């Protein structure tokens, strides 16, 4: 028996791990024939590696790391467009810090900034709004990036800019949604997925019903989870119990934060400001139908694509190949582990990322690299 | 960027824009409270409440215990400091080249 000192409640962790082991046995899952559970959210990926959950859970449980890390799925072409926008005169380009080191074909935003572009890291689109108010002679562009957790914040900021009549604020909208890539992965005949741990904070915004298709159309369980280590263990157990019992449902482990129908103000703001794009390109996954959002025509004055004719606002959205030797797409679809990539740790490190999965602590490669050498804190009893 | 951070709403700073001052681990930061104002709620109703704050927007009201637990989990992941750094970075950005 091993236990984990690092958990805030080691007793509870131990009990959950014992129960996970028991249910895994009941399912008959083994190292050779494991159950595959995908954690969709990059925050969960980070927590799993940080606490060594992949090693504390039985060998019959295999985690597949999902596409829920926004900077990891950002195509190089979009980074190039950011640089292109930022390098225009009289533009202040604002972005979350996470996006600064994502490699483009020529440079990252960090390199563009070093080369003299006015690029500023902000905490919130509200900071970008404030910059626009203070700099009426500049065009302030906010790089709208992320899933449904960050999407409402840009929608509300655009509504605010419209209410104030700001004319020098726009959003380069690259917001994406969680359910479509899950559908793509479930449709992929090479993928074996037996259940999902669903993203808690995305669900805080959209509720739990957008996942109904997972049990209904694919017969797979999904449990919406918080990101504390005990939340994750409990959610894994809930998924395993569903598998054992032959059930497939959407369950909500994180009900203390996630309401069934999400956040009505955020949903209304997103409805008002955005519409689905016919398709959007994901790094490693390719074009996915209805997976990206664009700003509706009534807010065109706040849409960088429309204002500058760039990205999907141009005739055709540019496509670029992934860098030579990068196995991001295989890692992204769970075909290989990060360590299986020839560039891992040599041509690609968190300091000098080649692929996007190495950029953010939510990326599978960076999480592997950061915690890979480390054993979970465990002691033989 | 996706995990958010708990903070306590301490005062309303702008009634019309629905902005409030939040105390996030001892750091004061202006946030939007629009998402947590349910039907029929006034800004003053959330003073003293804890909220999960995502990129400057209070997205869900949580209780004090949940706020403390969440903060501990974020500290474990190194995300609490990262978020506070991002807030400081955002404040610098307003002044000039950051
Ligand atoms: S190690 Fe780097 S190049 Fe290889 S898959 Fe990971 S991020 Fe991509």
Residue with the larger pLDDT of the pair A272 and A346: A272
DSSP string covering A143-192, please? EEEESTTTHHHHHHHHHHHHHHT-SSEEEEEEEB-SHHHHHHHHH-TT--
Ligand 1 pocket, residue A47 CB under 6 Å: no
Instruction: Give how many domains chain B has, as a whole number.
Output: 1
The C-alpha angle with vertex A347 and arms to A346 and A350, in degrees rounded to 5, equals 85
Of ligand 1's listed atoms, the one at least distance from the Cα of A357 is: 7
Please report residues of A whose CB lies closer than 8 A to that of B32.
Answer: 126, 153, 156
Question: What is the pTM for the complete model shown?
Answer: 0.91
The CATH number that applies at residue B22 is: 2.30.30.140
Distance A326 CA to ligand 1 centre (A): 5
Q: Do A43 and B60 touch (CB under 8 A)?
A: no
The DSSP bridge pattern shows strands A195-199 and A222-225 to be parallel
Closest-CA residue of chain B to A163: B17
**Interface membership of A201 toward B (CB under 8 Å):** yes
For residue A211, what pLDDT is reported? 96
Please report residues of A whose CB lies closer than 8 A to that of B34.
Answer: 156, 265, 269
* Predicted ipTM of the assembly: 0.91
Task: Report the C-alpha gap between A268 and A271 in whole angstroms.
Answer: 5
Distance A369 CA to ligand 1 centre (A): 10
- H or E segment at B52? strand B50-54
Residues A307-344 pLDDT 10s = 999 888 665 556 666 677 788 888 887 788 888 888 99
Structure tokens at A171: 């959003």
Given a cut of 60, is residue A7 above it in pLDDT?
A: yes
For residue A330, what pLDDT is reported? 85
Task: Report the C-alpha gap between A350 and A77 in whole angstroms.
Answer: 21
Q: Do B3 and A227 touch (CB under 8 A)?
A: yes
Residues A37-70 pLDDT 10s = 999 998 899 889 888 898 899 999 999 988 888 8
Can you list the domains of chain A with their CATH numbers?
76-177+261-313 (3.40.50.11740)
What is the residue-averaged pLDDT of chain A? 90
Residue B22 belongs to domain spanning? 5-97
Interface of B with A (CB under 8 A): 1-4, 17, 29-32, 34-39, 52, 54-57, 59-60, 62, 66, 69-70, 72-73, 76-79, 83, 85-87, 89-91, 93-94, 97-98
**Residue A250: closest CA among A176, A195, A193, A183:** A195
């Amino acid at each position: 028996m091993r236990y984990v000192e690092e958990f805030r409640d080691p007793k509870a962790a131990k009990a959950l791990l014992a129960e996970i082991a028991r249910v895994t046995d009941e399912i008959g899952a083994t190292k050779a024939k494991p159950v595959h559970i995908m954690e969709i959210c990059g925050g969960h990926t980070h927590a799993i590696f940080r606490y060594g959950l992949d090693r504390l859970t039985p060998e019959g449980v295999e985690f597949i790391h999902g596409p829920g890390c926004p900077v990891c799925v950002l195509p190089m072409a979009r980074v190039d467009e950011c640089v292109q926008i930022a390098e225009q005169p009289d533009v202040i380009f604002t972005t979350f810090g996470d996006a600064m080191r994502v490699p483009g074909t020529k440079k990252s935003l960090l390199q563009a900034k070093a080369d003299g572009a006015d690029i500023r890291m902000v905490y919130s689109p509200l900071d970008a709004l404030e910059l626009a108010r203070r700099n009426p002679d500049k065009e302030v562009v906010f790089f709208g990036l992320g899933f449904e957790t960050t999407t409402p914040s840009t929608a509300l900021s655009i509504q605010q800019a419209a209410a104030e009549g700001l004319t020098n604020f726009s959003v380069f909208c690259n917001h994406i949604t969680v359910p479509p890539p899950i559908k793509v992965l479930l449709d992929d005949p090479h993928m074996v997925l037996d259940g999902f741990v669903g993203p808690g904070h995305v669900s805080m915004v959209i509720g739990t019903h957008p996942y109904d298709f997972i049990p209904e159309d694919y017969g797979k369980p999904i449990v919406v989870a918080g990101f504390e280590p005990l939340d994750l263990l409990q959610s894994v157990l809930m998924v395993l119990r569903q598998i054992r019992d032959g059930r497939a449902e959407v369950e909500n482990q994180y009900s203390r934060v996630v309401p069934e129908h999400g956040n009505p103000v955020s949903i209304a703001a997103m409805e008002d400001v955005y519409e689905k794009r016919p398709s959007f390109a994901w790094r490693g996954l390719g074009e996915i139908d209805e997976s990206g959002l664009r700003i509706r025509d009534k807010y065109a004055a706040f849409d960088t694509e429309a204002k500058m004719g760039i990205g999907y606002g141009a005739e055709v959205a540019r496509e670029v190949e992934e860098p030579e030797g990068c196995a991001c797409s295989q890692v992204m679809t769970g075909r290989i582990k990060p360590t299986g990539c020839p560039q891992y740790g040599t041509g690609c490190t968190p300091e000098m990322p080649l692929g996007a999965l190495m950029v953010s602590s939510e990326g599978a490669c960076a999480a592997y690299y950061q915690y890979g050498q480390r054993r979970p804190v465990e002691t033989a009893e | 960027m996706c995990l958010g951070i708990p903070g306590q709403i301490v005062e309303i700073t702008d009634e019309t824009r629905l902005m409030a001052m939040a105390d996030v681990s001892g750091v004061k930061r202006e946030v939007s409270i629009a998402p947590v104002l349910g039907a029929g709620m006034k800004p003053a109703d959330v003073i003293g409440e804890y909220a999960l704050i995502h990129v400057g927007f209070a997205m869900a009201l949580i209780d004090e215990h949940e706020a403390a637990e969440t903060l501990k989990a974020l500290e474990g992941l190194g995300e609490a400091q990262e978020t506070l750094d991002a807030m400081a970075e955002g404040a610098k950005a307003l002044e000039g080249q950051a």
